[in-house]
Amino acid sequence: MNTESDAVNTLAADSQLVRKHLAAVNLSAQMDAEQIADYKARIKVLLKEKDAVLVAHYYTDALLQELAEESGGFISDSLEMARFGRDAKETTLVVAGVRFMGETASILSPDKTVLMPTLEATCSLDLACPIDDFAAFCDAHPDREVVVYANTSAAVKARADWVVTSSIAVDVVEHLAAQGKKIIWAPDKHLGSYIQKRSGADMLLWDGACIVHEEFKAKGLLDLRAVHPDAAILAHPESPAAVLDIADVVGSTTQIINAAVNLPNESFIVATDKGIFYKLQQLAPNKRFYIAPTAGNDATCRSCAHCPWMAMNSLDRLYQSLLSGSNRVSVDRELAKRAMIPLQRMLDFSAQHKLRVAGKA
């Protein structure tokens, strides 16, 4: 890994950067019930006027997820959000999430307008994998198949042979390893290690990490389980290996939700972004969910189990974007075509093997 890459990775994990984003006020949290209802009503009117549909990620504020459902939109991971948008009749997609999610929606729907509440909402994994550094790394290892996580920029996707979500990554890598292929994996090192352990593939791992999942610690989980001994631990594979080793279920956001609904346990410790609690509590209202402890709390943790960039999505920003048509996501047409090739390769693989591609991404 070169010096510039290391610097970007350090920047992505720097607490001051994260605190800056956390300091961006989420106005929705300061609204009373009447103000929230007023914003939601005005947004619903604009959605109809603009021929738009709202798609929200599982990690966004519960008010946005609720609004997506109330207005005929959709809540899911980034790829399913993009596929819903592609298949929707509306000509404008409003993506509540982080920037690479808006880009993915634009790649799958090149003829639709894609708006976001803010274009400043990024991702530590995206930040940690700048295209120039990554392309040079790939060029230095031309004998390897390039597999990247969906949590990457359009440019990184375009440089890859495959784009995968967390739920299908192991299957794809196992398929490639069976063909004798060696792998470059980016950007999440923890997910990469998990895939490598499961598949036995020869993998070179890029050194990126999610600031939310990297903070979960095995000791904190064990301490919490001592208080709730009957609780099952549900962990996303972007978490460190020590966390995954003690988890009862390791899976994507969709797999975590399904496990919570289908397992007989009445309580769960959840090691992923706490935005998922909206859907967990909706689908399993009689079960109890506990947020997995992070490396610190309040003043010392970097994310406190919630992505600071996801937190930048708010009702007021959504309203202003729809009203003015601002924060439009634009992906160069030729770049989008190149990025669609590895995306389509994953979709075709999924259809051929009858696999779901839903993931955190």
Q: Are strands 267-271 and 288-291 parallel, antiparallel or unpaired?
A: parallel
Q: According to the model, what pLDDT value does residue 165 have?
A: 92
Show the tokens assigned to 56.
Answer: 């929200």
Give residue 298's pLDDT.
47
pLDDT number for residue 299: 44
Task: Quickly count helices (H) and strands (E) in the chain.
Answer: 17, 12
**For residues 15 and 301, what is the distance between their CA atoms, to the nearest angstrom?**
8
Spell out the residues 6+ positions from residue 200 whose beta carbon is closer than 8 angstroms to its own: 177
Cα distance between residue 107 and residue 86, in whole Å: 9
Each residue of 234-279: pLDDT tens digit? 999 999 999 999 999 999 999 999 999 999 999 999 999 999 999 9
Residue 233, CA atoms < 13 Å, CB-side half-sphere: 28
pLDDT tens-digit profile, the chain (361 residues) = 444 445 444 444 444 544 555 554 444 457 889 999 999 999 999 999 999 999 999 999 999 999 999 999 999 988 889 889 999 999 999 999 999 999 999 999 999 999 999 999 999 999 999 999 999 999 999 999 999 999 999 999 999 999 999 989 999 999 999 999 999 999 999 999 999 999 999 999 999 999 999 999 999 999 999 999 999 999 999 999 999 999 999 999 999 999 999 999 999 999 999 999 999 999 999 999 999 998 655 445 666 899 999 999 999 999 999 999 999 999 999 999 999 999 999 999 988 887 655 555 5
How many Å apart are CA 77 and CA 170, to the nearest integer?
18
Give the H/E segment covering residue 243: helix 241-246
